Chain A
Amino acid sequence: SYVLTQSPSVSVAPGQTATITCGGNKIGSKSVHWYQQKPGQAPVPVVYDDSDRPSGIPERFSGSNSGNTATLTISRVEAGDEADYYCQLWESSSDHYVFGTGTKVTVL
């Protein structure tokens, strides 16, 4: 089965940039989505289709995808960005949706 690997945690000071990676075999050939989840809440999409932002999501959230790594970048990090972040894609060969292992972003 297809596996998406994320680093467990990222710590960043306010105003700095957080970079969250999602590794998968030839993930650059797939469409990757990113979700933010705060404690006790449902996930919220923050990036669609590698790099598009849903309406209402700040421009500080951006994404890219190439080779074996997809990346979510949060610029000018704010305290309210502290959350778990998950990558996700549809794996056509297995007809399965796949989520990454998740990354906890801590704002120092």
Chain B
Amino acid sequence: EVQLLESGGGLVQPGGSLRLSCAASGFIFSTYPMSWVRQAPGKGLEWVSGISGSGDNTYYADSVKGRFSISRDNSKNTLYLQMNSLRAEDTAVYFCAKVRGSSRVNPFDIWGQGTMVTVSS
């Protein structure tokens, strides 16, 4: 079964750091681009960051560029999001999502269940 399982969320103070993980199973992980998408409480979906299958290319939303870093370990079938200098507005459920096929034009066909990040003092 194709599955994504996020972990690492929690409560962190403003200015703090957190690293999210997304464990993939049921597909050849290294083949597919992956992304992180977040959803603030009561709000819509916001794309956060993406990475190519090889990990050579990374992309960031303007709202997180310079603070967040996406990476992947294809030997461990795991996607990561390192979040630094966290702000209250980063509070959200963070989903990892797999791109269908190898092109960024393709949709997100598999999503994890999400992990909650709360930034508060």
Contacts and interface: CB of A to CB of B under 8 A. Distances in A.
Interface residues of A, number: 25
Contact of A96 (B61, B107, B112, B113): B61
A86 B43 CA distance: 12
B47 A97 contact: yes
B108 A86 contact: no
A42 B95 contact: yes
A42 B113 contact: yes
Contacts, number: 58
Contact of A97 (B44, B50, B100): B50
A95 B105 CA distance: 10
B112 A42 contact: yes
B114 interface: yes
Nearest to B104: A90
Interface of A: 1, 31, 33, 35, 37, 42-45, 48-49, 54, 84, 86, 88, 90, 92, 95-102
Given A42-B114, A43-B111, A99-B45, 4 more contacts: A44-B111, A45-B108, A90-B104, A99-B47
